[in-house]
Chains A and B, each alone.
Chain A
Amino acid sequence: MAEILLQNVEKPDSHTLDTYLAGGGYKSLEKALTIKPETLIQNVKDSGLKGRGGAGFPAGLKWSFIPKDPGLQKYLCCNADEGEPGTYKDRGIIEKDPHLLIEGMIITSYAIGADKAYIYIRGEFEFGRRRLEEAIKEAYKKGYLGKNIMGKDFSLDIHVHAGAGAYICGEETALLESLEGYRGQPRKKPPFPALAGLYGKPTVINNVETLSCIPAIVAKGPEWFTGIGPEKSPGPKIFCVSGHVKNPGLYELPLGTTLREIIYTHCGGIRDDKKFKAVIPGGVSAPMLPEADLDTPMDFESLAAKGSMLGSGAVVVMDETACIVKAAYIIMRFFSHESCGKCTPCRCGTPWLTRILKRLEQGEGRDGDVKELERLCTNIFGRTFCPLGDGAVMSLRGALKHFRDEFVYHEQHKECMATS
């Protein structure tokens, strides 16, 4: 499959407008501006594009929730707060092909009737932020942004806002809070952002990769898009492969590519030809899968059926030398550190889990620790304010489901099964 999202990244000076234009850039915008917004929304609906940020909500459907009242201020927010451990796909687009994102945002803004758009970018992406600022400046100069874009009755300003280092701000309502200048904590839903989002106005929040799919959908039509990958989860997807593989990196492949194909065909197999042990298929919130599940196609539905999820498409591979307890501990430590503090089960539960896992990992396990982990997971799951706490539990539950014996070994023998 020809690359869509990563087609420019290898080119020299890929981030410049000239390179982008040379590759046919902003042609989709020109075309989109001749199409009625409703038709655009319908096209994106028809394309079956699902949000690439993690939740996989159909993008066109999300857009269609925006009230049509032309007098109402609407906003587009691009979620570039790429914080899920293992994920670096958005960073690739932002740093190497910022105009792809900008074009996608302009088309989306036109479709939903927004005249202001924000890119909420992860605070650590300082280089990416500068790249985006430069690209936006170029786009203004060429008239792709600003008043009366391409001579049409459509104006748009894009602002870049850097986050301050909180994972939770990748959650869409916490992102809005942070963007408004408040403490980054999730808002209660309903009201959903489509009705009352940024500054209480209808707002669409899409991930960088989602928005980057839009120019191609406009250019080639929804049928082309649905032709890629499985019927229910069509389209290209960037997989960020890391961990114990020979060639880690970004791979743009159709959704539905199996884990085995990604790891063994595209990434060259396990590092040092060691034995495969486990893979986290979609960022650390996604439960890990054992070798038996390697033939699972990487799409929303197939992974859900295996009790995991596609998430952000961050594939973290662990070989036989990896200690699952240690992995679980590090992941839980991350969630505990990033818990925003708003709700009780996540704020108090994740540090508790972390403390137990730390002891287990360090050989200070006590009888009943594994049971206690499971009990605490039950007490957290489904009771938190936002999905952060659920994600923490899902990752641990995944590890316990497939590698319970390793945890028990740690508890009973005060040492590691994998490394001892």
Chain B
Amino acid sequence: MVTLKINGKEITVAEGTLIVDAAKAAGYDIPTFCYHKDLLGVGSCRMCLVEIEGQKKMHPSCITPVMQDMSVLTETETVLSARASMLEFLLSNHALDCPVCDKGGECELQDMVLEHGPRKGVHAEPKLRFHDRDYALSDVIIKNSNRCVQCVRCVRVCEEIVGRGVLGSIGRGAHQEETSFLRTYLDCDSDGMCIAVCPVGCYMRRPFRYRARPWDLRGSKTVCPYCATGCRMTIQERDGEVVRSVANQEDGFNGIMLCARGRFGYDFINSAERLKRPLMKKDGTFEEVSWDRALSVVKEKFGSTEGSKIGAVASARLTNEEFYLFERLVRGVFKSANIDSTSRWDPAGAGAFISATGINGGGTPVTECLESDTVLIVGSQVSDENPVTDYFVRRTARDKAINLIIASPRAMKLDSSAALTLRHAPARNEPLLNALCFELYKAEGKKLSGVKGVEALKGLDAAKLASSAGLDEDEVKAAAEKLKGSGTVAIMAGTDFIRYNDGLDALALLVEVLKSLGKEVKVLPLLDRCNQRGAWDMGVHPGFGPGYTATEGGLGSYGMLDAAAEGRMDAMYVVGEDIVSLFPDEGFARQALEKVKFLVVQDIFLSETAKMADLVLPGASFAEKDGTFTNQEGRVQAISKLLPPPGSARTDLDVIGAIGASIDAGFAASDLASLTGEIRKEINMYSEVESVWGEGTFVKASGSGLTGSKKTAKAKKEKKDKDYPFELVTGNHLFHSGRFSRRADILKGLSKEATVEISSEDAEKLGVKEGDRVKVKGMHYEAELPVKTKRGTRSGVAFIAENYEQVPVNRFLRRGEPLQRVSITPL
């Protein structure tokens, strides 16, 4: 600790603290432009100059660390005059077009001039203009360089946090302009981080341009409804229309960080296609019906059906409170054990994943994970699936040496921060992780005698394991060396483990092996739906009840569809889940749902699944309800209602409650406050969840023994086939999350068409280049789509995102065969 004086006031702060932060702690605000907490200091704007007693020159407080007994003066006449003069200089080349600038009212330059002067402008010389009209850098970013204050935060955030580096400073001196090369469209992540850091109206949101003044907006704090990184944000509306979502530095663990989905994916809320009234199918067409009628039909059908013939699936995007009530409805009122939270994978795999990643063992903050010596990311295309998690990792890798190992068949943006990348074959996590276990076992087998499952390693052969994973033995050894040499290890495990039902036992074994070697191991699941973890915590899974308690086993989504296909599913209640679009075999899903006697779908859009329903109930989006989400870290955060649901649509909590009450008059009232209390009381993990604002609260260990993974049916792997040289993998596109984000027009505009992504080498071999159209032919389906090439992706791997309705990737798949081979031929 260091003790110093700021304006005579003594303060003690940690060593290395910057003067600007120390001053803030002492109660003195120092204005800054170039300084940003998340970025490396540059000390260029000179706004933060302060005097240090005994030194001739003023010092930039944003890059000067405190020293023992230093005496800093931040309010002297010299300092104040320097501040005013910097602002005067900035204004001398600023457009001063506040009346037509979007930033007006929340502009840092405006605020600072108001506070620090100069009161009167004296600059009467011609100004330099970069351009006459605003120009677009992308569909979401529009730029006016005449307003720039050259803090260069935009270039730095793009490089240091986003990792794209598509912005740069062009020109020199007063002519310096931060923009794309030749001011052309950026090939970027469109996350608008440049807009978020811009202190003035230089970078603007294109969809928001000229829409509103900040004081005309009404906002509510919420959590991003897409991936499970769970970024805190505020959505803002004007005249009943959501026009912006923003993240604030001071609120939430993600600070200003949001990805394209979070920052620009809000407009599905305003969609004209939102369901507004209940729809009942009559002779193949939907008719609007009243809620009374709809509920009485539900009561009639579900009330009279035997529990075992009822199935219920809820999307992993509902709130914890809704899941909790849903679970009570299904198990308590429907008397059914058939409950699940997604249709994308086998629930048995999900159970094994929960166990292997210790989801039932309490929360793990991502920042804590990143304090580890080695971080292994496996089973996730994290740069696309969880963009802000990717930002956290990159930021940490910038500041300190972490051994980042990325194991993924596909290249990703984060590779550039990695110490080692393993391009193993798709769905071969098992041999990969076993090979790592084997190397550790070979070195220190004696310490591992107590580890369950370790005997199985004995007979293995390193070369065979590596080749089965599609890697060189040396690559595996190099990764194992890094693990061996680390005292603390973090494993970030993604949904590929469940999607391909692959390597879950090996993951659990690796964790145990590392722990037995005396290493501190943290495991962070990387999930792609905002409240997947909450769904599991609330017991929306056929294998366990709320808080991972034991329960009578039932059917998961896979089992329900099997049963339905055999005509054993009389009624199904599907909330928010688009089974037809996402179950890894579209044909089978359709066939099965066709045979469900009474299918109720509750959604905010008429999804492919809803189109098959007998009754469609209009639900509410995240903007229209209160409640909490539990993100992948186990962080519980609140969302809050901004708008009423459209038409007569009701919140899912309301609907679930109403269905329950219609069948069982004793089904308790479902107001949010009492549910919150109940969850804290009933579910041990949530017993200490108090503050759900700000950075939220982490769940604690459940104490329930969800031990060992259940043996799950291994997904069949297709033999290598000359006619089908590529293995087809799928996942989320950077701009999309399931099918739901496809209703967000802004996001849709960013990626208009599905593509098939292959390695640059493969593209060269095929004689195609980026954008060329090819035919992708599988055993069961074929599609024509443009090629996207990626340098560094493993040869023989093809990727099509699961989000596009034009190319439903699940048509390539067959039930139980999530990994298919395809051929690619140029058109």
- Interface of A with B (CB < 8 Å)? 166, 183, 188, 336-345, 347-352, 355-356, 359, 366, 372, 379, 382-385
Partner of B93, one of A337, A338, A340, A351: A351
B49 at interface by CB-CB < 8 Å? yes
Contact of B45 with A344 in the complex, beta carbons under 8 Å: yes
User: Which of B166-174, B606-614, B662-670 is near enough to bind chain A?
Assistant: B166-174
B46 and A384 contacting across the interface, CB-CB below 8 Å: yes
B90 / chain A contacts, CB cutoff of 8 Å: 344, 348
Tell me which residues from 48 to 97 in chain B have a Cβ below 8 Å from any Cβ of chain A. Answer: 49, 56-58, 60, 63, 81-82, 85-86, 88-90, 92-93
How far is A255 from B81 in the complex, measured between Cα atoms in Å?
40
A345–B92 Cα distance when bound, in Å, is 11
A348 touching B89, Cβ below 8 Å = yes
A349 contacts B176, C-beta separation under 8 Å: no
Chain B residues 695-747 with CB under 8 Å of chain A are: none
Assess whether B172 is in contact with A341, with CB atoms less than 8 Å apart. Answer: yes
User: B89, A352: Cβ atoms under 8 Å?
Assistant: yes
9 contacts between A and B (CB under 8 A): A339-B172, A339-B173, A344-B86, A345-B89, A347-B150, A348-B90, A348-B92, A350-B173, A352-B89
Interface of A is mostly: helix
Complex Cα spacing A383 to B42, Å: 15
Contacts of B126 in A (CB 8 A): 355
Query: When the two chains form their complex, are residues B123 and A352 in contact, meaning their CB atoms are under 8 A apart?
Result: yes
Bound together, the chains give a CA A372 to CA B169 distance in angstroms of: 31
B125 within 8 A of A: yes
Q: Give chain A nearest CB distance to B454 CB in angstroms.
A: 41
User: Which of B89, B90, B122 counts the most chain A CB atoms within 10 A?
Assistant: B89
- Contacts A355-B126, A385-B44, A385-B46; A341 near B88 (Cβ below 8 A): no
| A171 vs chain B, min Cβ distance (A) | 14
- Find out whether the CB atom of B49 lies under 8 angstroms from the CB atom of A383: yes
Which residues of B have CB within 8 Å of A350? 173-174
Contacts of B42 in A (CB 8 A): 188, 342
The 10 closest A-B pairs by CB, nearest first: A341-B176, A348-B89, A379-B85, A355-B125, A339-B173, A341-B173, A342-B44, A351-B174, A343-B44, A344-B46
Asked whether A344 and B173 contact (CB < 8 A) given A188-B63, A385-B46, the answer is no
CA–CA, A164 and B403, complex, Å: 37
In whole angstroms, how far apart are the Cα atoms of A239 and B585 in the complex? Answer: 84
User: Is B218 interfacial (CB 8 A cutoff)?
Assistant: no
Tell me the nearest residue of chain A to B169, going by C-beta. A183
User: Are B172 and A340 in contact, with the CB atoms below 8 A?
Assistant: yes
Q: Write the nearest CB–CB distance from B64 to chain A, whole angstroms.
A: 9
Distance in angstroms from B180 CB to nearest chain A CB is: 16
Chain B 17-61 per-residue mask, 1 if CB under 8 angstroms from chain A, else 0? 000000000000000000000000111111101000000111010
**Nearest chain A CB to B7 CB, angstrom units:** 20
Contact of B150 among A337, A341, A355, A372 (CB under 8 A): A341
Interchain CA distance A267-B326 in the complex, whole Å: 97
Q: Report the minimal beta-carbon distance from A402 to chain B, rounded to whole angstroms.
A: 25
Contacting pair B173 A337 (CB below 8 A): yes
A349 to B169, CA, bound (A): 19
Q: At the interface, yes or no: B213 with Cβ under 8 Å from chain A?
A: no
Give chain A nearest CB distance to B284 CB in angstroms.
Answer: 65
Contact yes or no, B88 A188, CB < 8 A: no
**Is A352 a contact of B173 with CB atoms below 8 Å?**
no
* Chain B positions within 8 Å of A384 at CB level: 46
Task: Report chain B residues within 8 Å CB of A383.
Answer: 46, 49, 58, 82, 85-86
A166 to B175, CA, bound (A): 14
Shortest CB distance A380–B (Å): 8
Residue of A with least CB distance to B43 = A188
Task: Establish whether residues B43 and A351, one from each chain, have CB atoms under 8 Å apart when the complex forms.
Answer: no
Residue count of chain B within 8 Å CB distance of chain A:
38
Residue of B nearest to A183 (CB): B169
User: Which residues on the A side are within 8 Å of B44 (C-beta)?
Assistant: 342-344, 385
Are B57 and A382 in touch, CB under 8 angstroms? yes
Give Cα A349–Cα B93 distance, bound, in whole angstroms: 10
- For the complex, give the distance between the alpha carbons of A339 and B128 in Å: 15
With contacts A344-B45, A385-B44 known, is A356 near B125, CB below 8 A?
yes
Q: Would you call B43 and A336 a contact (CB within 8 A)?
A: no
Contact of A382 among B58, B92, B124, B171 (CB under 8 A): B58
A343 CA to B63 CA, complexed, in Å: 14
Contact with A along B170-199 (1 / 0, CB 8 A): 011111100000000000000000000000
Which residue of chain B is the closest to A359 with respect to CB atoms? B125
Nearest-neighbor residue (CB-CB) of A348 within chain B:
B89
- Cβ–Cβ < 8 Å partners of A166 in chain B: 172
**B residues within 8 Å of A by Cβ?**
41-47, 49, 56-58, 60, 63, 81-82, 85-86, 88-90, 92-93, 122-126, 128, 149-150, 168-169, 171-176
Complex-state Cα separation, A356 to B86, whole angstroms: 18
List of B residues within 8 angstroms of A342 by Cβ: 42, 44, 150
A42 vs chain B, min Cβ distance (A): 31
> What is the chain B residue whose CB lies nearest that of A165?
B172
B residues near A341, Cβ cutoff 8 Å: 150, 169, 171-176
CA distance A351 to B82 in the complex (A): 18
Q: Which residues of A contact B45 (CB under 8 A)?
A: 343-344
The answer to whether B173 touches A338, judged by C-beta atoms less than 8 angstroms apart, is yes
Q: How far is the CA of A344 from the CA of B175 in the complex (A)?
A: 13
A351→B176 CA distance, assembly (Å): 13
In the assembled complex, the Cα of A125 lies from the Cα of B43 at a distance in Å of 33
Complexed CA–CA distance, A355 and B128 (Å): 11
| A350 to B128 alpha-carbon distance, docked (Å) | 13
| Contact of B49 with A351 in the complex, beta carbons under 8 Å | no
Q: How far is the CA of A43 from the CA of B126 in the complex (A)?
A: 56
> Which of B49, B63, B81, B125 has the most CB atoms of chain A within a 10 A radius of its CB?
B125
**A3→B47 CA distance, assembly (Å):** 50
**Alpha-carbon distance between A337 and B56 when the two chains are bound, in angstroms:** 28
- B88 closest partner in A (C-beta): A379
Check B174 against A339 for contact (C-beta < 8 Å). Answer: yes
Given the complex of chains A and B, what is the CA–CA distance between A339 and B44 in angstroms?
13
Give the chain A neighbours of B174 by CB distance below 8 A. 336, 339, 341, 347-348, 350-351
* Distance A385 CA – B58 CA, assembled complex (angstroms): 11
Q: Are A352 and B150 in contact (CB under 8 A)?
A: no
Report whether A344 and B150 are in contact in the complex, using a CB–CB cutoff of 8 Å.
yes
- When chains A and B are docked, how far (Å) is the Cα of A341 from the Cα of B172? 6
The reply to whether B89 and A379 form a contact with Cβ atoms under 8 Å apart is yes
CA gap between A349 and B92 in the complex, in Å: 9
B518 to chain A, nearest CB (A): 31
**Distance of A343 Cα from B41 Cα, bound (Å):** 13
Contacts of B128 in A (CB 8 A): 351
Q: Determine which of A339, A345, A359 lies in contact with B46 in the assembled complex, contact meaning CB atoms within 8 Å.
A: A345
Chain A residues with Cβ under 8 A from B58's Cβ? 382-383
Cβ-neighbour of A347 out of B49, B88, B176 (below 8 A): B176
Q: Once bound together, how far apart are the Cα atoms of A352 and B123, in whole Å? A: 8
Partner of B41, one of A188, A340, A347: A188
For A343, list chain B residues within 8 Å (CB). Answer: 44-46
- The residue on B at minimum CB distance from A349 is B89
Query: Within the assembled complex, what's the spacing in Å between the Cα atoms of A359 and B128?
Result: 16
Q: Please name all residues of chain B whose beta carbon is closer than 8 Å to the beta carbon of A355 when the two chains form the complex.
A: 125-126
B123 proximity list for chain A (CB < 8 A):
352
B463 shortest CB reach to chain A, Å: 37
Instruction: Tell me whether B172 and A345 are in contact (CB under 8 A).
Output: no
- Closest Cβ neighbor of B125 among chain A residues: A355
A341 vs B168: C-alpha distance in the bound complex, in angstroms? 13
- In the bound assembly, the distance between CA atoms of A384 and B58 in angstroms comes to 10
**Smallest beta-carbon distance B173→chain A, Å:** 4
Task: List chain B residues, Cβ under 8 A from A349.
Answer: 89
**A188-B43, A344-B44, A379-B88 given; 20 more Cβ-contact pairs under 8 Å:** A188-B60, A336-B173, A339-B172, A339-B174, A340-B172, A341-B173, A344-B47, A344-B90, A344-B150, A347-B150, A347-B173, A348-B93, A348-B174, A351-B128, A351-B173, A352-B89, A355-B125, A359-B125, A379-B82, A382-B57
User: Roughly how many angstroms separate A219 CA and B122 CA in the complex, as a whole number?
Assistant: 60
Nearest-CB residue, chain A, relative to B47: A344
Contacts of A340 in B (CB 8 A): 172-173
Residue of B nearest to A390 (CB): B57
